[in-house]
Chain A
Amino acid sequence: MNAYQEFRMIGSRPVRPDGLDKVTGRARYGADLNMQGQLYGHVVRSPHAHAVIRSIDCSKALAMEGVLAVMTGQDLVEPGNQMLGSGEGAMALKDVVPMVMSQGKVLFHSQAVAAVAATSPELAAQAAQAVEVVYDVLPAVTDVHKALAADAPILHDDRFPDGYPEEPTNLATHISLTVGDPDAAFEKAEVVIEQNYSVPMCHQGYIEPHACVARADAAGRVELWCCTQGHFTVRHYTSAVTGIDLGKIKVTASEIGGGFGGKTTVYLEPLAVILAQKSGRPVKMVMDRGDVFRATGPAPGAETKVKLGATRDGKLIAADVECLMDSGAYNGNPAGIPAFMATACYKLTDARSTGRSVYTNKPKIHAYRAPSIPQVTLGFELAITELAAELGMDPIEFRLLNAVEEGDANMMGAPYNRIGLRECLEVARNHAHYKSAVAEGAGRGVAMGYWINAGMQSSATLNVIADGHVAILTGSPDIGGSRASMALMASEVLGIPFEHIHPKVAATDAVGHTDLTGGSRTTLATGQAVIQAAEQCVAEMCRRAAAEWDVEAGVVTWSQGAAHYGDQSLTFEELASRAGAMGGPLTFSSSLTSTSTAPGFGVHICDAEVDKETGRTTITRYTAIQDAGKAIHPDYVEGQMQGGAVQGIGWALNEEYLYNADGVLENPGFLDYRIPVASDLPFIDAVIVEVPNPLHPFGVKGVGEVPIVPPMPAIAEAVYQSTGVRFRDLPLNPPKIVAALASN
C-alpha cells in the first residue's frame, strides 16, 4: 500500500522550473563557462587502431610560445585491479584510465595519447600537432569472430577470463546461468525454434559534446565544472585516475545536453585537472564531434542465438539464449546484463542464458539506455513473435499467456513484486492502433521490453526560506526534467504551490552523496530523498505549531500547506517567517540507499511500410505503452517514452558504427551516423499505464530505459509483415532490404 493515495500536484503538468532559462538561451551547459585566464586543452590522438607507443616527445610543443603545459598517460595513476562503483555496474580502474589516456599501448583509433594546454584553441591544436609520437603499429581486429580466431592479434596478454586457462585470448568475459532443467524442457516441447539475430555497435548520439573547465590552487584543491550524468561519479573517477585526494576535488554539474548513459564516466575531466595543475591556470576542454564518435564509449554490437520451446497450446516452457557482445578495447562488462535479464518478461522455470564479451580494437563500450538489453531483446522478442506465428497465435495473446506477473521469478531469482506487464499488454490489445486494420503494403509488429530499474544512493536538502518558499538541493544532474519532478513531489508533501519551490542541482560540496542520473533511478530514489526531507519539514512544522498551541505534537495535522489543531491553524508561510523565534532555521536533509525499486515494462506497437523497390522503410504509426507506476510529471514520462522509442527506431533502421579494415570509424559525424530527424517520424503515441510501486510512497517506477528496448523487434516484425521476408540482422537499411528481397 502506498503512503499517499490521492494527489493534489502529482500527475499535473506545470512548466518546469529550468524551462525559462532553456528557451531563452541562458542555461549554461558544459562548454558555456569560461574562467578568467583560462587555457585551452587539446588532446593528441592515435592515428592507429592498435600500436605500441615507443616514445612521446612533447618538447617541441612545450617550447611554443603560449603553450603552458603538456601531459601524457604517465601523469595518470598506474591502475591495479581496484574497482570503481558506478551507477550502471562497477568498472575496474584499469578499464577507465586508458579511456582517459593510453599508457604505453594504443588499442583503438583516436585513443588519447597526450594533451597540451595553450592560450588559444588554435594554438593548442597546433601544439598538439607538434607532439611527436612514435608507434609500432600492430594489426587491428574489429570483428568479434575474427577477434576470437586462433590467429587474432591479442589486445591484452595479461587478462584471462574467469574459468579459462591462462592463455592469450580476446575473450573478455563469459557468464552462464541456468534455472531448472532446460534440456529436459526442450525434450517436452512440441514446437521449438532456433535463430540467430544481430545488432550493430551504435552511439548514444547526445547532441552536446563532452566539455569541462578545471582549476587547481596551490593548496592542491581542484575545482571542475562539467557536463555529466553524475558529478559525484566524476569526482570519484577523477580522484582515482589522477591520484588527487577525493576530498580536495569539487565538481559542479553544468546543465547537460543529453547523455543516455554516455556521460557516466570521465574522458576530458582528469586531463583538464592535470593540465591546470601543471600550468597553474584554469583549463577548458571541449571534445570535437568526431572524437565523441571515435573515442567515447558506444553501445556494444551483439549477436544473439535464441532457442525457444513451447507446447502446442501456447505455453513457453524452455529457453536457451547465447549472447556474444563486442566489448571494445577494454572490459565494459556488456555480457552480464543480457545473461541475467534476457528472459525477464516471461514465466520460464527452465532456461539457460549465456553471455560472452570480446575485446576488439574499438573504443571500450559504455552504458546506453538499458545497457545491453535492446540487443538481446531484438533476438528474444523476435523469436517469441516467430514462435507465436508458428503456433498460429496472435502475438499479444501469446505474450499474455506467458508474461510474468507478481510472484514470478526471473533468472536473478527474486520474485517480482507488483509489476505492470500484463496491464500493458491488455492496454495494447485494446488500443485503437492494435484494433485498426494494417494499411495495404504496410506491416505491424509488437514487442515488449524490460529494465531492472536502479535504486542506489541519493540525497536531498530542503531549505525553507523566510517568505515560505523552499530551495531544494539534490545531487542529481537534471537530464530530462527531474527538477520539475522534485518540485512536484515537494509541493505535494508540503502543500505549498509548485512555483514556491526552487530545485537546484548542487555541487559535490553542497549536498550529500548522490549516485549518477542513470538506471532510471532519479525520480524514484532522489525523489524519495526529497519526499523524506519534505516529510521531516512537515513533522517539524507540526511540532512547532504544537509547541505554540501547547498541545501534543501528535494531535496536530498537516493539510493544504498548514498545521491544524481544532480551529487553529498556522500556515507554511507563517511558520517559515517566524522560524527564528520558533526554534531556528528550517533545513532538512535526507540521504538514503533506495531499496524501493520496481522493474519497468513496456509494450510497443509499430506500423511500417517498406518501399519494395528502394528498400526504404517508413514508420507510419507508433504506439508506446508503459507502466510508470505513478507518473509524477506526465509530460516528461511521455517524453522519455517517445524519445526512447525514436532512439530504438534509429538503431533499427540506420544507426551503425562502420569501421574500415584499419579500424578507423568511417562515419564519425551526424551526416553519416544517421540519427532520426523530425521528418522521418510520425507522432509517437505514448500511453502511460499506472500500476503503483508498493515500495515507493508515491508508487513511482523508473521509466527512462524501458522505451528503447521494444522498438527493434517491433520494427523488424513490421518490416517482415510488409515485405514477407524475415530480417534478423539490423540495421534494416535500404541496401540490405533490397538485397534480401531480390534473393527471395
Chain B
Amino acid sequence: MAVQEFISPTSLSEAQQAVSDGAVSSWLAGGTDLLVGIRLGARDPARVVDLKQIPELTAIEIDDASVRIGAAASAFDVLHNSDVPSLFPGLAEALDLIGSTQIQGRCSAGGNLCNASPAADSIPALIANGAQCRILGPDGERMLAVEDFVVGPNQNALAPGELLVELILPRPTAGTSDSYLRLTPRTEMDIAVAGAGVSITVDESGNCAAARVAIGAVAPTALLVDAAAEALVGSQLDQAAIDAAVEAVRAAAAPISDKRGTAEYRTHVVGVLVTRALAKAQDRITEARS
C-alpha cells in the first residue's frame, strides 16, 4: 500500500490527536530513514505525520543546566548552532558523519535515535553525554536515558502513540569534553563498521574524575560500557588505564560478521577508536585550559 495521508500538525497536542485513531502512522522528522524504508518496502505507513511544524520539535535551547535539542532539529541546524558544537564537539562529530551534506540538511539526532540502527552515529555520542529522552504519550510525559531508549536493532522504546519530543543533555562541567570516532571504508557516505563516543572529565591535576564510554555497531544496540569508565575514573588516563578501558569495550562488544566487516575486525577496531577518541577528548580539555 502507499501512504494515504500526510498531516503536518503545528502543536504537540495536534500531533497526538493525529495518531489517536490507531491507524498505522509514522512520525516524519528528516525522513532520511523513513522515506528510504518506504521506497525499499521495509516501512509501509498509511499516514505520515510531519513533526517539523511543531516549534518544540525543531528548537535548540540552552540554559545554565542543560542543552535541549528538539527531536526533529536537523543535523545541519545543530552543527551550525552558535553553541552546541563547542559544548559537545563529539556530538557534532557524530552528526557531521551521518550521510552527506544533503542528508544532514534533513536528518535529526532524534530520528537517528528512533530509527535505532545498531550503527547509528549519533547514539554513542548521545549516550556518552548522558542524554535523556523526553517522551510524550497518551498517558503523559516520561523521561528515559538514551541507552535505555533503544531496545534492539531498529526497535525503540516508544509505545504506540508516543512521541520523542526532545533530547536533553546536561551541560558539560569544567574540564569535560567529548569525542566521537567511527570507522568506515570510505571517508563519507558510509555506515559505521564500528563507532566510539566518549565523554571524560579531567581535573586540574590530570586525574580523570568522570567518564562515559559508549560504542556502536558492535552489538545489537549501542552500548554504554561502565567497565571502561571504571577503568578510567581515578586514573591519570595513563596507558594502563586506557588499555584496561580498551579491554573492557572489547569484552563488551558482541558484533556480527556481515557485509560491512567481520566480528573480529569490529572487536579490534572499536578498541582503536576508543583509544583515539579518549586522546582527542583529552586534547580538547587541555586546549580549553590553556
Closest to A611 in B: B272
With beta carbons under 8 angstroms apart, the residue of A670, A672, A734 that contacts B269 is A734
Question: Which of A517-525, A540-548, A674-682 is found at the contact surface with chain B?
Answer: A674-682
Closest to A734 in B: B185
Residue contact A738 to B190, C-beta cutoff 8 Å = no
With beta carbons under 8 angstroms apart, the residue of B185, B191, B264, B272 that contacts A733 is B185
Chain A, interface SS category: loop
Residue contact A734 to B193, C-beta cutoff 8 Å = yes
Q: Does B186 contact A (CB under 8 A)?
A: yes
How far, in whole Å, are A654 and B260 apart by their CA atoms in the complex?
10
Closest to A125 in B: B2
How far, in whole Å, are A738 and B273 apart by their CA atoms in the complex?
14
Q: Does B4 contact A (CB under 8 A)?
A: no
Residue contact A679 to B185, C-beta cutoff 8 Å = no
With beta carbons under 8 angstroms apart, the residue of B186, B259, B260 that contacts A677 is B186
Closest to B269 in A: A614
For chain A residues 598-626, which have a beta carbon within 8 Å of chain B? Answer: 613-616
Chain B, interface SS category: loop
Q: Does B143 contact A (CB under 8 A)?
A: no
Given that A614-B183, A614-B272, A738-B269 are known contacts, is A679 also in contact with B261, CB under 8 Å in the complex? no
With beta carbons under 8 angstroms apart, the residue of A616, A654, A672, A739 that contacts B191 is A672
- List B contacts of A742 (CB < 8 A): 268
With beta carbons under 8 angstroms apart, the residue of A290, A658, A679, A739 that contacts B259 is A658
Q: Does A735 contact B (CB under 8 A)?
A: yes
Q: Does B189 contact A (CB under 8 A)?
A: yes
Q: Does B154 contact A (CB under 8 A)?
A: no
Closest to A733 in B: B185
- List A contacts of B193 (CB < 8 A): 734-735
Q: Does B283 contact A (CB under 8 A)?
A: no
Q: Does A653 contact B (CB under 8 A)?
A: yes
Residue contact A616 to B188, C-beta cutoff 8 Å = no
Closest to A612 in B: B272
Q: Does B82 contact A (CB under 8 A)?
A: no
Closest to A656 in B: B259
- List B contacts of A616 (CB < 8 A): 183, 185
Closest to A669 in B: B40
- List A contacts of B262 (CB < 8 A): 735, 739
- List B contacts of A676 (CB < 8 A): 186
- List B contacts of A667 (CB < 8 A): 259
How far, in whole Å, are A654 and B185 apart by their CA atoms in the complex?
7
Residue contact A671 to B191, C-beta cutoff 8 Å = yes
Q: Does A78 contact B (CB under 8 A)?
A: no
Q: Does B187 contact A (CB under 8 A)?
A: yes
Residue contact A666 to B269, C-beta cutoff 8 Å = no
Q: Does B265 contact A (CB under 8 A)?
A: yes
With beta carbons under 8 angstroms apart, the residue of B40, B188, B265, B272 that contacts A679 is B188
How far, in whole Å, are A674 and B262 apart by their CA atoms in the complex?
17
With beta carbons under 8 angstroms apart, the residue of A670, A677, A739 that contacts B187 is A677
Could you give, for residues 168-210 of chain B, a 1 whenever the CB lies within 8 Å of some chain A CB and a 0 otherwise? 0000000000000001011111110100000000000000000
For chain A residues 729-744, which have a beta carbon within 8 Å of chain B? Answer: 733-735, 738-739, 742
Residue contact B260 to A672, C-beta cutoff 8 Å = yes
Could you give, for residues 270-283 of chain B, a 1 whenever the CB lies within 8 Å of some chain A CB and a 0 otherwise? 00110000000000
- List A contacts of B190 (CB < 8 A): 671, 674
Closest to B268 in A: A738
Closest to A122 in B: B2
How far, in whole Å, are A658 and B262 apart by their CA atoms in the complex?
13
Residue contact A672 to B259, C-beta cutoff 8 Å = yes
Could you give, for residues 233-272 of chain A, a 1 whenever the CB lies within 8 Å of some chain B CB and a 0 otherwise? 0000000000000000000000000000000000000000
Closest to B276 in A: A613
Could you give, for residues 712-744 of chain A, a 1 whenever the CB lies within 8 Å of some chain B CB and a 0 otherwise? 000000000000000000000111001100100
For chain A residues 650-667, which have a beta carbon within 8 Å of chain B? Answer: 653-654, 658, 666-667
How far, in whole Å, are A666 and B257 apart by their CA atoms in the complex?
13
- List B contacts of A672 (CB < 8 A): 191, 259-260
Given that A667-B259, A735-B262, A739-B265 are known contacts, is A654 also in contact with B186, CB under 8 Å in the complex? yes
Closest to A742 in B: B268
For chain A residues 611-653, which have a beta carbon within 8 Å of chain B? Answer: 613-616, 653
How far, in whole Å, are A735 and B185 apart by their CA atoms in the complex?
9
How far, in whole Å, are A122 and B188 apart by their CA atoms in the complex?
33
- Chain B nearest CB from A673 CB (Å) reads 10
- List B contacts of A674 (CB < 8 A): 185-186, 189-190
Could you give, for residues 224-266 of chain B, a 1 whenever the CB lies within 8 Å of some chain A CB and a 0 otherwise? 0000000000000000000000000000000000011110110
For chain B residues 25-46, which have a beta carbon within 8 Å of chain A? Answer: 40
- Chain A nearest CB from B253 CB (Å) reads 15
- List B contacts of A735 (CB < 8 A): 193, 261-262, 264-265
Residue contact A671 to B189, C-beta cutoff 8 Å = yes
- Chain A nearest CB from B169 CB (Å) reads 28
For chain A residues 101-157, which have a beta carbon within 8 Å of chain B? Answer: 122
How far, in whole Å, are A742 and B273 apart by their CA atoms in the complex?
17
How far, in whole Å, are A666 and B260 apart by their CA atoms in the complex?
10
- Chain B nearest CB from A744 CB (Å) reads 15
How far, in whole Å, are A739 and B264 apart by their CA atoms in the complex?
8
- Chain A nearest CB from B245 CB (Å) reads 16
- List A contacts of B40 (CB < 8 A): 290
- List B contacts of A680 (CB < 8 A): 186-188
- List A contacts of B269 (CB < 8 A): 613-615, 734, 738
How far, in whole Å, are A541 and B83 apart by their CA atoms in the complex?
74
How far, in whole Å, are A680 and B186 apart by their CA atoms in the complex?
6
How far, in whole Å, are A654 and B187 apart by their CA atoms in the complex?
12
Residue contact B185 to A666, C-beta cutoff 8 Å = no
- List B contacts of A733 (CB < 8 A): 185
How far, in whole Å, are A309 and B269 apart by their CA atoms in the complex?
41
With beta carbons under 8 angstroms apart, the residue of A658, A677, A734 that contacts B189 is A677
Closest to B263 in A: A735
How far, in whole Å, are A630 and B188 apart by their CA atoms in the complex?
38
Closest to B100 in A: A677
For chain A residues 668-696, which have a beta carbon within 8 Å of chain B? Answer: 670-672, 674, 676-677, 679-680
Closest to B257 in A: A735
How far, in whole Å, are A218 and B30 apart by their CA atoms in the complex?
49
- List A contacts of B191 (CB < 8 A): 671-672
- Chain B nearest CB from A672 CB (Å) reads 6
- List A contacts of B268 (CB < 8 A): 738, 742
Residue contact A738 to B265, C-beta cutoff 8 Å = yes
Residue contact B259 to A666, C-beta cutoff 8 Å = yes
How far, in whole Å, are A36 and B81 apart by their CA atoms in the complex?
49
- Given A614-B273, A733-B185, list of 20 further CB < 8 A pairs? A122-B2, A290-B40, A613-B269, A613-B272, A615-B265, A653-B185, A654-B186, A658-B259, A674-B185, A679-B187, A679-B188, A734-B183, A734-B185, A734-B265, A734-B269, A735-B193, A735-B261, A735-B262, A738-B269, A742-B268
A-B contact pairs, 18 of them (CB 8 A): A122-B2, A614-B272, A615-B269, A666-B259, A667-B259, A671-B190, A672-B191, A672-B259, A672-B260, A674-B190, A677-B186, A679-B187, A679-B188, A680-B187, A734-B183, A738-B265, A738-B269, A742-B268
> Which are the 4 A-B pairs with shortest beta-carbon distances?
A735-B265, A679-B187, A613-B272, A666-B259
